[in-house]
Structure 1
Amino acid sequence: MALVKVDNLSRVFDVSKPWLNRVLERREKEYLTAVSEVSFDVAERSTYALVGESGSGKSTIGKMLVGLLSPSDGHVEIEGVDLANEPDAAKVDAVRADIQMIFQDPYASLNPRWRVKDIIVEPVASRGGKTEGMAEKLLEQVGLSVKDAGKFPHEFSGGQRQRICIARALASEPRLIVCDEPTSALDVSVQAQVLNLMSDLKENFGLTYVFISHDLTVVRHMADVIGVLYLGRLVEEAVPGRLFDDPKHPYTQMLLEAAPKMDAFGREIQPPEGEIPDPINPPPGCAFHPRCPLAQDICKRDRPRLRQIGGTRVACHFAE
């Protein structure tokens, strides 16, 4: 059963200069399409990973899932409720209580003036719930000490702070946690510890994750399904084994090849070149065609739609 249903989701930002500047410079309004017609489902008690370069729309989708941003078009349904359009405020409030988010920067996402115990119980305290002993119990569950409850965030390392963020997310007993690059600010060894902790908590608490990352290798062992984003569009979706062994879209292949590799003589192979296009003026047709080795005339004219090839959904005219 799908806990989250994303249907034809788009988000456009007005990035125009102020009115007077536009008049003097004779410029039109400018719009940035951060997310364009994205659709996917997230099954309950599973991990769905969104992967792509910076600027591909991952974090924007994450913020729309938790209700921090409203869609410009399309729908996000969680537990069957469309948070942006549901007229019943009680239904929206009930669903919001089942959603939490873990942010990218563990240094910026904790209030430096609050003690850890107050930070952890805040989601429950704000709704008038009982919080006695909750912080200490959650700290133990994320691998920290009960004695840490009275400390301030500056007394912890980055990895420990991210554990505190995870404890805060667990406090309200959510069903869905959106994780926005939760390990990117951490050392590689600490990343592994936090990822293992999140996997264990998923099993113990029956959690559903939407895991946002720029690194395919980070989500390889975490995700049940991986969606690859490029310039705000979903270009490929498959289970990890199929995506890594038989990537269909040239962009997915490029992401996999971009990991540091050595040739037979021990020299590092050059990663693929090229930059993501300007999202204010995206290329027509397939957004990836300026960087694609398979690009033909049809790629410059017609935007490919997601279609099923085997067990993979892929948006490419030449995926076969």
Structure 2
Amino acid sequence: MNLVSIKNLTRVFDVSKPWLNRVIERLPKRMLTAVSDVSFEIPERTTYALVGESGSGKSTIGKMVVGLLRPTSGNVEIDGVDLVTESDAAVIDRIRTDIQMIFQDPFASLNPRWRVRDIIAEPVAARGGNTDGLAERLLEQVGLSADDVNKYPHQFSGGQRQRLCVARALASEPKLIVCDEPTSALDVSVQAQVLNLMSDLKEVHGLTYLFISHDLTVVRHMADTIGVLYLGRLVEEASPDALFTTPAHPYTAMLIDAAPRLDAFGREVEPPEGEIPDPIDPPKGCAFHPRCPLATDICSAERPTLQPFNGGRVACHHAGQVALKGAA
């Protein structure tokens, strides 16, 4: 059963200059499409990872899923309830108790003036729940000491602070946790500890993760399904094994080739060509065609749609014609 169902999700931002400046300078409105027509599903107790370059729309999707941003169009269904169209406040409130988010920066996402006990218990206390012993129990679950409940965030290391964020996310017993680059601000050794903790907690609590990351090495070991975003659109979706061995989209292959590999010391790989286009004025047709080595006339004229391919989905006119440059 799918816990999350995202359908045709789109978010457009107005990045125009103030009205008076536009009138004086005779400038039109400028609209930035951060996410465009994205659809995917997340079955219960699985991890769906979103990857892509900075500016591809990963975090915007995460914020729309948890309700921090309202979609311009499309639907976000959690446990069968569409949070975009649902009008019953009680139903929305019930579903939102099942959703939590772990943010990228553990230094900024914790209130520096609150003690750990108050930080962890806040999601439960805000709804009048019983918080007796809650913080102590959750601290031990995430590998910290119950004696830390009276400390402040500045008394912890970066990895320990992220464990506090995990404990806070678990406090309301959620079904879905959106993880927005949860380890990017941490050292490599600490990243592994936090990721192992999250994997263990997923099994113990039956959690479902939407895992947002730019680190392909991380998502390869964390995800059950990986979605690749480019300029706000989903260009490929596949299992980790399929994605890393036989990528169907040239952008996916470019990302994999650019990623560091322990088994390929000294290899020479050409760096990715070009930069992600201006999302305010994207290229016509396939947005990746200016950087694509396989591009033909149809790529600049016609935008490909997501189609089933080798057990996954891909949006490419030349799907399956990709070869990894860095393959052993």
Fold match by TM threshold 0.5:
yes
Report SS of the residue matched to 1:298. Answer: helix
Tell me by how many angstroms 1:310 deviates: 1.6
Asked if structure 1 preserves the Cα contact closer than 8 Å seen for 2:257 and 2:269, the reply is no
Partner in structure 1 of residue 77 of structure 2: 77
Counterpart amino acid of residue 42 in structure 1: I
The 1:275/1:179 distance shift into structure 2, 3 A limit, reads: same
- Residue range with higher mean Cα deviation, 39-48 or 257-266: 257-266
Equivalents in 2 of 1:33, 1:151: separation in Å? 43
Asked if structure 2 preserves the Cα contact closer than 8 Å seen for 1:263 and 1:269, the reply is no
Query: 1:89-104, aligned counterparts within 5 Å?
Result: 89-104=89-104
- Residue range with higher mean Cα deviation, 265-274 or 139-148: 265-274
Asked if structure 2 preserves the Cα contact closer than 8 Å seen for 1:8 and 1:74, the reply is yes
Query: 1:182-221, aligned counterparts within 5 Å?
Result: 182-221=182-221
Asked if structure 1 preserves the Cα contact closer than 8 Å seen for 2:47 and 2:208, the reply is yes
The 1:266/1:140 distance shift into structure 2, 3 A limit, reads: same
Partner in structure 1 of residue 326 of structure 2: none
Tell me by how many angstroms 1:261 deviates: 5.8
The 1:146/1:290 distance shift into structure 2, 3 A limit, reads: same
Counterpart amino acid of residue 313 in structure 2: R
Partner in structure 2 of residue 293 of structure 1: 293
The 1:179/1:228 distance shift into structure 2, 3 A limit, reads: same
Asked if structure 2 preserves the Cα contact closer than 8 Å seen for 1:260 and 1:269, the reply is no
- Residue range with higher mean Cα deviation, 309-318 or 257-266: 257-266
Partner in structure 1 of residue 107 of structure 2: 107
Equivalents in 1 of 2:120, 2:78: separation in Å? 24
Tell me by how many angstroms 1:20 deviates: 1.1
Determine if the alignment matches structure 1 residue 158 to structure 2 residue 158.
Answer: yes
Asked if structure 1 preserves the Cα contact closer than 8 Å seen for 2:227 and 2:237, the reply is yes
Partner in structure 1 of residue 68 of structure 2: 68
Report SS of the residue matched to 1:220. Answer: helix
Determine if the alignment matches structure 1 residue 309 to structure 2 residue 309.
Answer: yes
Structure 1 unmatched ranges of 5 or more: none
Asked if structure 2 preserves the Cα contact closer than 8 Å seen for 1:260 and 1:271, the reply is no
Partner in structure 2 of residue 32 of structure 1: 32
Equivalent pairs: percent with the same residue?
Answer: 76
The 1:264/1:36 distance shift into structure 2, 3 A limit, reads: closer
Report SS of the residue matched to 2:222. Answer: coil
Output one character per residue of 1:160-210: Cα deviation in whole Å (capped at 9) or x when no partner: 000000000000000000000000000000000000000000000000000
The 1:265/1:60 distance shift into structure 2, 3 A limit, reads: closer
Tell me by how many angstroms 1:270 deviates: 3.6
Equivalents in 2 of 1:186, 1:43: separation in Å? 29
Equivalents in 2 of 1:3, 1:263: separation in Å? 37
Query: 1:173-184, aligned counterparts within 5 Å?
Result: 173-184=173-184
Output one character per residue of 1:91-148: Cα deviation in whole Å (capped at 9) or x when no partner: 1000000000000000000000000010000000000000010000000000000111
Tell me by how many angstroms 1:71 deviates: 0.7
Counterpart amino acid of residue 133 in structure 2: G
Partner in structure 1 of residue 323 of structure 2: none
Equivalents in 1 of 2:292, 2:100: separation in Å? 37
Determine if the alignment matches structure 1 residue 148 to structure 2 residue 154.
Answer: no
Superposition RMSD in Å: 1.4
Equivalents in 2 of 1:73, 1:140: separation in Å? 42
Tell me by how many angstroms 1:259 deviates: 1.3
User: What is the total number of aligned residue pairs between the two structures?
Assistant: 320
Tell me by how many angstroms 1:309 deviates: 1.3
Output one character per residue of 1:50-70: Cα deviation in whole Å (capped at 9) or x when no partner: 000100000000000001111
Asked if structure 1 preserves the Cα contact closer than 8 Å seen for 2:216 and 2:259, the reply is no
Equivalents in 2 of 1:32, 1:66: separation in Å? 21
Tell me by how many angstroms 1:263 deviates: 11
Report SS of the residue matched to 1:192. Answer: helix
Equivalents in 1 of 2:263, 2:272: separation in Å? 15
Partner in structure 1 of residue 87 of structure 2: 87
Partner in structure 1 of residue 240 of structure 2: 240
